[in-house]
């Protein structure tokens, strides 16, 4: 494994490294950890890497790694840079014949995301997107419940991702400085909150239910003075099946930490899952007591069991779920490196999931800015 981004001072890079390393099948051997040469070199030193494999530009890294013998070069690169660099970095490595695992969202905008898909298809390489919440065992169990028709016809879906870390900036007098690249439209794209965490809520709905969006009605707000991009958003959704949806994402929901959750209501039963209590899946009925299913038990389906590492009664969490995405991608990358035909059954988010997410972001922003509000979801 190689990595672009994620050097000293970065949060998500360390998470990716822990997740990749958890099962002992992936070794970090190279990287360009920062656009600043000194920071990249120091980060490589922190990680005990060979200095010759620590690069000062991602272009140089892609070129030099591709030139190494097959048994020495990296098998894939993990991309953990800012949104505006996702696609350029991915293209550089795909064109060099190297597989890619990329942080979400897929890119800066939908147009460049679609362009990246052409590069992925032409390269024949593996492309995985780290919508990490799909890796939780009980999320996979929820998906199986829907697939097997245990909920009946889905009528309504409620998904939310509230955080409260930015609420302290709301009542400041006068404009505040942009304190994160995620609030800079030149770097993050057209959305901050909805683009960052709202896409996780959308992806969770799509992964579990398979529902396709027909149209949506959205309102985005920047509560913090001087903010150019949203820090809160509400979306009403009409799905092609006739089901209805409510989705909200927020960074000013006072007291909430990382409260991603989903409720799926069907004609036979409903399910409920909360990311802050991820080891449980709640199944609810109109005419009998609700059930609480817990990970690690042999009454669960194969997908949930295969993505659990510890016995029942021992909790698993965020890093393990992240690791499941890496493990599934590693299976595909191993097949690709070995010259095997890639399957369609690998269980990780791919380029199409990324494009769907970008279409969601842009549709939400378009709706929020529109006087008519209800906005048709684009054909992809």
Taking the whole predicted model, whether its pTM rises above 0.85 is answered as yes
Residue 65: how many other CB atoms lie within 10 Å: 22
* Tens digits of residue pLDDT in 197-242: 999 999 999 999 999 999 999 999 999 988 899 999 999 999 999 9
- As a whole number of angstroms, the distance between CA 28 and CA 82 comes to 20
Cβ within 8 Å of residue 179, ≥6 positions away: 169
Domains and CATH numbers, the chain: 2-125 (3.40.50.720), 135-310+357-376 (3.30.360.10)
Model confidence over 78-94: pLDDT tens digits?
999 999 999 999 999 99
Dump pLDDT digits (tens) for 26-42.
999 999 999 999 999 99
Q: Is the pLDDT of residue 313 over 60?
A: yes
DSSP per-residue string spanning 201-269: HHHHHHHHH---EEEEEEEEE--STT-SS-SEEEEEEEETTS-EEEEEEES--TT-SS--EEEEEESS-
């Amino acid at each position: 494994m190689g990595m672009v981004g994620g050097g000293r001072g970065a949060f998500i890079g360390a998470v990716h490294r822990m997740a990749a390393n958890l099962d002992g099948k992936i070794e970090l051997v190279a990287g360009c950890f920062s656009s600043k040469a000194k920071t990249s070199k120091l980060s490589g030193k922190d990680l005990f890497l060979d200095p010759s494999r620590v690069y000062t530009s991602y272009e140089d890294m892609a070129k030099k790694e591709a030139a190494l013998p097959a048994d020495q070069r990296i098998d894939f690169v993990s991309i953990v840079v800012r949104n505006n660099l996702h696609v350029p970095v991915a293209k550089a490595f795909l064109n060099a014949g190297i597989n890619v695992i990329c942080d979400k969202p897929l890119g800066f905008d939908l147009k460049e995301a679609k362009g990246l898909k052409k590069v992925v298809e032409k390269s024949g390489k593996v492309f995985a997107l780290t919508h990490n919440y799909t890796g939780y065992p009980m999320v996979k169990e929820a998906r199986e419940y829907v697939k097997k028709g245990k909920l009946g016809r889905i009528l309504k879906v409620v998904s939310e991702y509230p955080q409260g870390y930015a609420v302290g900036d709301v009542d400041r007098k006068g404009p505040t400085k942009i304190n994160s690249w995620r609030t800079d439209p030149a770097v993050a794209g057209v959305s901050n909150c909805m683009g960052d965490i709202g896409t996780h809520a959308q992806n969770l709905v799509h992964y579990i239910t398979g529902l396709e969006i027909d149209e949506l009605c959205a309102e985005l707000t920047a509560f913090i003075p001087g903010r150019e991009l949203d820090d809160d958003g509400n979306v009403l959704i009409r799905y092609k099946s006739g089901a209805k949806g409510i989705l909200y994402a927020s960074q000013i929901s006072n007291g909430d930490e990382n409260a991603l959750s989903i409720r799926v209501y069907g004609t036979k039963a409903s399910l409920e899952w909360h990311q802050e209590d991820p080891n449980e899946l709640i199944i609810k009925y109109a005419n009998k007591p609700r059930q609480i299913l817990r990970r690690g038990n042999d009454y669960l389906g194969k997908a949930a069991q295969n993505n659990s590492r510890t016995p029942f009664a021992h909790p698993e969490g965020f890093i393990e779920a992240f690791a499941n995405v890496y493990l599934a991608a590693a299976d595909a990358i191993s097949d690709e490196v070995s010259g095997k035909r890639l399957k369609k059954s690998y269980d990780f988010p791919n380029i199409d999931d990324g494009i769907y997410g970008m279409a969601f972001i842009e549709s939400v922003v378009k709706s929020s800015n529109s006087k008519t509000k209800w906005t048709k979801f684009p054909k992809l």
